[in-house]
Structure 1
Amino acid sequence: MTTDRAVEPAYGLQLCVDSAQPHDLADWWAQALRWEVEVQDEDFIRRMVAEGHASASDITTHRGRVVWVAGAAIAPPAGTAPSPNRPRILFQPVPEAKTVKNRVHWDLREPGSDDDRRAVELQRLLGLGATQVGSGRQGPWTWTVLQDPEGNEFCL
């Protein structure tokens, strides 16, 4: 289908995840996905507080660094997706605990997947603190259902 309309740029994607401990969960998912936690600019954060644009209750310390309470983000390692619209996952604090199954979950699709590699990857994720809660099969495809440390479901 052709149109005279100019092609609109595609959206970038940021997935937001509600969490009890956003900085800890960002650290966990960065390890699980082999991504990186985005470094927050401590000087900027301190300056925002000093200038009255933020208060002391807006900041905290995580792993010895001053960070925003409002959350932490992870992204693929620099160089793997040169676009400024590369995917990003933001972990943000919420007061309530997770109580029901996720309406959206992640499927981790490891490169070069085979049964031996999947078994190694499953053990790596369990070693990081994932919990195995089920499995599934459809034709030749199989998967393992896991939960992260806060109970969010994902599949391998």
Structure 2
Amino acid sequence: MDCTDPHTLADWWAETLGWDVEPQDEAFIRDMVAKGFATDDQTTHHRGKLVWKTGGAIVHPDNGRRMLFQFDEAAKTVKNRMHVDIRAGDANRDAERDKLVARGATFLWDGQQGPFTWVTLADPEGNEFCVS
């Protein structure tokens, strides 16, 4: 997922999905800079740790599925090409929506198709996703 603040958005999605932020190896990063394979400008600090500036990832705690958040200086301007659906269940959908809005999501609209209902939200960088 392209974004302007990959580490912050990775944190947000990790909490949203119950996944883990993938750790980055600070010693490896320092070694790459020391050997001239990377520059200090390609790194940043996030939550007190040295990380690659261009991206961060989250991983599913059980099966290792991974979602990458990569830096793009341009803010989102068109519909996303990837769309995440979070299945909360009818009984939990509104509570999940409220929790996500409290954490920085934006409510966009309610949807329905036949007996199926969902709510469409946007994450803190404007990427649309649904909770059903």
Alignment correspondent of 1:22: 6
Structure 1 spans left out of the alignment, 5+ residues: 1-16
Q: Deviations over 1:32-53 (max 9, x none)?
A: 1111100101111111111111
Normalized per residue, which structure has more strand? Answer: 2
Alignment correspondent of 2:56: 72
Match of 2:27 among 38, 43, 61: 43
> Normalising to structure 2: TM-score of the pair?
0.94
Structure 2 spans left out of the alignment, 5+ residues: none
Aligned length: 131
The higher radius of gyration belongs to 1
TM-superposed CA distance for 1:103, in Å, is 3.0
> Normalising to structure 1: TM-score of the pair?
0.80
1:88 is the counterpart of 2:66:
yes
TM-superposed CA distance for 1:140, in Å, is 1.0
Alignment correspondent of 2:90: 114
Q: Distance in 2 between matches of 1:60 and 1:120?
A: 35
Alignment correspondent of 1:149: 124
SS in 2 for 1:26: helix
Q: Deviations over 1:22-79 (max 9, x none)?
A: 01100111111111100101111111111111111111101110000120000112xx
TM-superposed CA distance for 1:135, in Å, is 1.3
Give the percent of matched residue pairs that are identical in Structure 1 and Structure 2.
Answer: 53
